[in-house]
Structure 1
Amino acid sequence: MGHGTTLPLTLHISLGRWIKFEEKVEDGGERWSAPHIPVLPLHSLFQLRTCLQEGKMLLDLEAPTFKEIIDKVLSGQPEETELQPELREHLADLLLRQPRHQPTKSLLWLIHEFILSPCLGRHGAWPWVATWLSPKHLLRTAASLSFQLRNQFKKKVPPGAEVAHVVVGEVEFLEKPFTAFIRLRQGVGLGSLAEVALPSRFLFILLGPRTKVKAYHEVGRAMATLLMDELFQRVAQQAEHREDLIAGMEAFLDELTVLPPRKWDPSTRIPPPSCLPSPYRSLLSLSALPQDHRAPTRLAVSWQWGHGSSWGQNWPGGPMSQGGAGEDRQRDATFGAGTDIRRKAPWYGSDFTDALHPQCLSAVLYIYLATVTNAITFGGMLGDATANMQGVLESFLGTAFAGSIFCLFSGQPLTILSSTGPVLVFERLLFSFSRDHSLDYLEFRLWIGLWVAFFGVVLVATEASHLVQYFTRFTEEGFCALISLIFIYDSLKKMLSLADAFPINWQYRLDNVTFYSCVCRQVREWGVCKVSVYDPSLLPVLSLQPPAVPAGLSRTQCLGQGGHLLGTSCQYVPDVTLVSFLLFGGTFLSCTVLKHFRSSRYFPVGVRKLVSDFAVILAILTSCTVDTALGLETPKLLVPSELKPTNPARGWIIFPFGANPWWVCLVSAVPAVLVTILIFMDQQITAIILNRREYKLQKGAGFHLDLLCVSLLMAITSATGLPWYVSTTVISLAHMESLRKESASSAPGEYPKFLGIREQRLTGLAVFTLTGVSIFMAPILKYIPMPVLYGVFLHMGVEALNSIQLTDRVRLLLMPAKHQPDLAYLRHVPLRRVHLFTIIQLLCLALLWVLKSTVAAIIFPVMLLALVGIRKGLERIFSLHDLSWLDSLLPESTRKEAKRGQPREQEEESNGEEVGRKRGLAAVRLDGQRPAPIAARDRRAYGGLSR
């Protein structure tokens, strides 16, 4: 094309965009592709480097409009490469044309356009067609801006993002390529140049004569991919000379991975990984940058391609700031209760305001039902073990009182207090001992509780909680696995017990219905009467004979009047056991499926998140609806309806003297030591698990304050004859999981980022308040089947068991090596050593289970403490290197490693994320001094971690 010819029609078409991963417009031009990792030809990167070395470069350009930017770019050419006036006019005319963006609209908006399209004329449904064909619309119009505002794609862009535009294409009036890289001093809105209305910061232009179309196309993709790199993005923002950008690109090439040709299909789209490595390279390289430029910055890239085409691509690329991981648990533990109070006091107001979120309502309902079920279960067990000296009513009142006080004044209000299996075992042994030695159980228990409270206060005063630093993963996982297995075992045991209360009619034969009958045999004068024990709508074949007397007696009336039932059909009940197991399994599966619905491909993100947050409630409501529809008399949730002690022989206040000899108050100190060990281990191990770094708690922990609250509550509950309460691991973990926060917006292809836990006191307080008033809610709660709640118990136990590394290592025992997942510790520890460590943990877990279940349960607290000694002994079997990957080092071992000068990096896997954890890694010094310009010889400063 000659310089004087009329400019032909040229289209600017958006062909791709980047948020964090690449998206392409499919060949049909109607939809975006799935996000994928960009794959680049190596030669395109070399061509891009040449463009940066030889092309036009304007850094910190000040221009308020896109037209002024183009004018300055075209007018500031060096003399040897200066464009002729006609070429400048053609280029300006080309670059200022209206771009066509591939729309990202909601389904409702597309339906709206489809309905209105006949009323808008020939091009009504596609308003930009007229814009392309009309020469007067060379500049951006107000209509295109409205397209930006209604674009649903903006929801995917994180707040604070900026745009970078990459414009590439071929034109006939140029004889050699024209290249320009522009960085604006401040982000400027450039109208509808970008797909979304965001300020623009960078522009890259590459126009040239006709050649291989893919050549310019791939160079543009390379530029966009380079801007997507977190390190190069910061270099581009702070570069002062051309050499700085070249150095940043050289660092990018240093870490580039090249795949050989003909060994894979380049057209294959690689899906984004579930987790990305931590950007240590960027963090260490930024040590040379001035302090005022180190704040993370997001960037969006718009890339426009044209035959004259225009390729628009938006990418917010800076690293998302991670929420703090909470204070170090060892540091928290070394401070006293007073320091815990001073640290938590500034957060007290926000502990209530932060609960004003719909997610907290779901958590309250979920944990309330779990707490009520737990109170009924352990209350019933306590009643059986203590001759109803403590029963279901005492369990309800104690749970409500102790839990509410703890939530109001504790250091970690997300903890849920409850009766636990180890405490129940001790109560059973204590009652048996009191009965065998003619001692008053409640008075004896009162003195034990007072001694435990005293010992607990002494532990708080002496800051004994610093011993938690010796509770490593080995101890935590053993205890957590034990409690999780207790939940699973108890839920299955309760379900199997239904077969005794509602036996399955294995001997029923349809052909023998004529032989089935049931007779109520009375001792009184009217003799024998027949009893109808069926519902005609359910099983009419059991209606065998009419009653012997006009006024027939029901089964309940017969037994109530001293009669007894005779006959082959007297024990018949509908298949309640079968339906109960269906409700049990259905609730468990529904909870599991709906909880993971957040990562499903179906429905919008908001719907998936809502369903996931209310997963347990939806599962319970669904199972209750099914149970009501079936109409069978399945066992229901029954709560006490009267405020009086379960055993009439006891009162609400336990007096310390009168029933037992005086020396009992002194002897009680001996069993109190065992209970103190149990309470200390149970409370502190649960606190350690809840305050893990991966939960990203912001308000800190309160190990001393929590122990002080539990100790004082021990004295109060002992004096009132209520059960003892301590932190329950499984329900507390379920409480934490129900309050997880994730990023509201995420780039296409990027998994939502875990932001932390919604830390507040109101959900726990509401749960225990509802538990207390449940006595007055019996008419409503009686419609909830117990198998449904047992299914929730099973779900909590399985979820807690799956949250520990021990479960993963147990699976490895059953996997061939070639099918094992790529876990961090498998890269550094021999597989046989991993299996040996797992087997030792399983043996300790089995020993804990045996001690809990036999007469040797009295030494169960000592065995918990012995886990720390066993862990210390493992240092004679495993090297410190292996233990640092499979577990965490004890304080003495950590100091030895520091003296030897063996710093190294360690990766830790948690909640689907790779959390980088460094040991002995020197901190990067940030002195705030502005460095010299980055020269090519200094590009190693932007390289990866030195090994």
Structure 2
Amino acid sequence: MESHPLFSEMEELVKEGDELEWKETARWIKFEEDVEEGGNRWSKPHVATLSLHSLFELRSLILNGSVILDMEASSLEQVADNVLDNMVADGALGYDSREKVKDALLRRHRHQHERRNHNNMSRLPLIRSLADIGRNHSSCKSAGNDEGMVKSPSSLSMQRNHSSGDLPMNGDINHKSNVHFMRKIPPGAEASNILVGEVDFLEKTLSAFVRLKTGTLMGDLTEVPVPTRFMFVLLGPPNSNSSFHEIGRAMATLMSDEIFHEVAYRAKKRDHLLAGIDEFLDAVTVLPPGEWDPAIRIEPPAAIPSQDVRKRPNDNNIKEEPDEEEEEQRQREESGLARSGRLFGGLINDLKRKKPWYWSDFKDALAIQCVASWIFLYFACLSPIITFGGLLGEATGKNMAAMESLISGFVCGMGYGFFSGQPLTILGSTGPVLVFETIVFEFCRQVGWNYMSFRFCIGTWITIILVTLVAIDASAFVCYITRFTEENFATLIAFIFIYKAVENVISIGKKYPLNTHPDEVLNYECYCLPSNYSRVPERFNWTLVEKESCQLYNGTLAGGGCDTKVYVPDVFLMSIILFLGTFVISVILKDFKNSLFFPAKVNTKSSIE
């Protein structure tokens, strides 16, 4: 974006009688000019002296407030609507206060030259009227001969309208631009308007930094007819700890700074503005209190010092950034996520990228700094393999248990490490794999198929599909996987673990039920009788056979208590305690690093580990 010279104007919200209005209190072309006490004249241009606290407050407002870049708006009302909608959406402003803030932003803007003219008119109304008539006639004749005016067609048109006193700006037909001051503003300049004020209907401070996409004339917002490009709005409750006047001066001084001026025009996000403020703070010279008189204004230097020294280290920050799509495409090509256009082209490119680092990946793993890491990773990867192996054993009827999971994790991990050049990577089972194997086993049992044979067919087809995907560089589509997809997958795994934990507790409750009627007398009379098909010796003692063993001997259960449940309350209740205790301990340990139980040094070290 092309930068322009900037004219900055600061206005403060004041109460005139019973009405609120914006009063111009300071302005900047390069140096600061303030309205003198009493409000009758402007001070001489001087170097702005700012408090360091106001700069830090301004940085905090840019960091946490609304920042809207390249806003499309053609009037102050549209700017106000866009800013307030953004604040409401972010939760910084309540919807019930929106109209009050908008009303405050759209109040009349009273400039210093208008106030002086207003006072003179109140003293000599008749003479003022006659002088206006004479000036209007003379201005119409000499409007095209004034060499100090901006020569753009829009400025000349506004000059004619102003000379006739008919310039309607922002709905205020009484506004008259300070055409005389236009002589001091460089051609092609744009305006930066800073609006600060205190209102009693707000409970917290609101701030917004706005950059318009194109410079726009905003009526009576500026004392001179130059298009507005930047706006900074700061409103808050009265008697707040922040000095809004000083923060507004800090913002205007920043906008008049040569380096931040370029950053503000070229910034594409909030971080760029913060970097510009940080650079300004690095270059600031602090005068200690008590060793100089703040009431004495510093005269501008005869020759403005060059800012080349500040520009050199920040060339990379203020230059135009490359196109985001081109940068993204370049990163894809470097990471191998771009299609090569030939069979197995991506695999070949991967091998070429890995070849220079292949041997060092294994050699560096033997360094003393890495030994502790891969020993830790060994146990960290071993524990889920054994855990899921036990769950797979229950889910697949012992066809795949802990030993099979351990061997498969060893083979897959070693193979992946040798072929990818990443020897520390070990693959193992996860929650979705456990669910998949459970479904496959149940399906095979229902249709009468051999589970291991069917599982071998599934593995074969997966191999064929993976080889086909590698051949056509389908891995390039991984770049389209967003965080939304990752979060969905992580949520699925979390629900699987939660579901399995609850399911196991419920299954324990069914196997070892809890007696909810302890006063009820239970009948456990049950014995085993021989049947005609039982193949046991004739002297076999059937009275000693338990219910589970009776069916193995082809016996028949008899008695009224064979169907009575055996209540074992300790097992289920202990499972509930372990279930809840594990959850509570996990939550406590998760937040333990932020607690005050140990010194900060111990907490920091544990969190790093």
> Shorter-normalised TM-score: what interval?
0.3 to 0.5
* Greater relative contact order (Cα < 8 A, sep 6+): 1
TM-score by length of 2: 0.41
> In terms of Rg, which structure is larger?
2
